[in-house]
Chain A
C-alpha cells in the first residue's frame, strides 16, 4: 500500500516567519494530495489540496508544491500567525477514496 512520510514532526517558528512541511509518498499512481489542519479536540479540516496534473497551488498565505518525479510535496505557510498553531497532516491517494496520511507535524507559532 501507499506509504507517506512527513517531516518535521515538530516545527516552531516566530510569528511572521514562514513554515515549510515536507511529505514523500511511495506509490507513483497516487494522484490526489490534500493537506489537513487539526486543532485540539477537533477533527481534521482540509486547508488545501493538489492533484497530480498541477505543480503548484496557492490560497492566500498557504501554498502547496508537488514534484511527481521525486514523489514529494510540500506545504508552505507564509507570514505565520498565532492561529496557524495546530497539527498539520499530509495525505495521498489514488482514484480510490483511500487516503494514506503522514504522521503529522505540530506547528507552534511564537508571538
Chain B
C-alpha cells in the first residue's frame, strides 16, 4: 500500500509554461483534493473531487484545472504558470467526508 503518491517531487518552470502535477492513491478513496502550502498561511484548498467524474472548486482555484476520470488519479494542471503559483502542492484523499485525509509528500514548484 503506497498511500498517496505525488510526482514530480520538485519542478522549476518558466512563466507561461504549462504542466501537470500527478496524484495517485491506492486506497480506493472516493474523496481527493489539492492544497497549496505557502509560508505563514497553512494549507489552502484548490480543488477537490468527491468521486470519478465530479470536481469542484476550493478556496483558491484560479489558474488551476483538475479532472477525475478514475478513482485512483487526480491530476492538477497549471495552464500558464505565474510566479504567484510558486508553492508546495499537496494531494490528499479520504474514504468519506469528515474522515482523516491522507496526504502525499508534496510537489515543490518554483516558477521563474
Contacts and interface: CB of A to CB of B under 8 A. Distances in A.
Given A43-B103, A43-B106, A97-B33, A89 B43 contact: yes
A102 B31 contact: no
A43 B105 contact: yes
B97 A102 contact: no
Nearest to B100: A46
Given A43-B90, A51-B98, A98 B58 contact: yes
Q: Classify chain B: how many residues form its interface, as a range.
A: 20 to 34
Interface of A: 1, 4, 6, 9, 31-32, 34, 36, 41-46, 49, 51, 89, 93, 95-104
Interface of B: 4, 31, 33, 35, 40-45, 48, 50, 58-59, 90, 92, 94, 97-98, 100-106
Given A46-B100, A97-B50, A97-B98, 13 more contacts: A43-B103, A43-B105, A44-B103, A46-B102, A93-B97, A93-B98, A95-B97, A97-B48, A97-B94, A99-B43, A99-B101, A101-B42, A103-B40
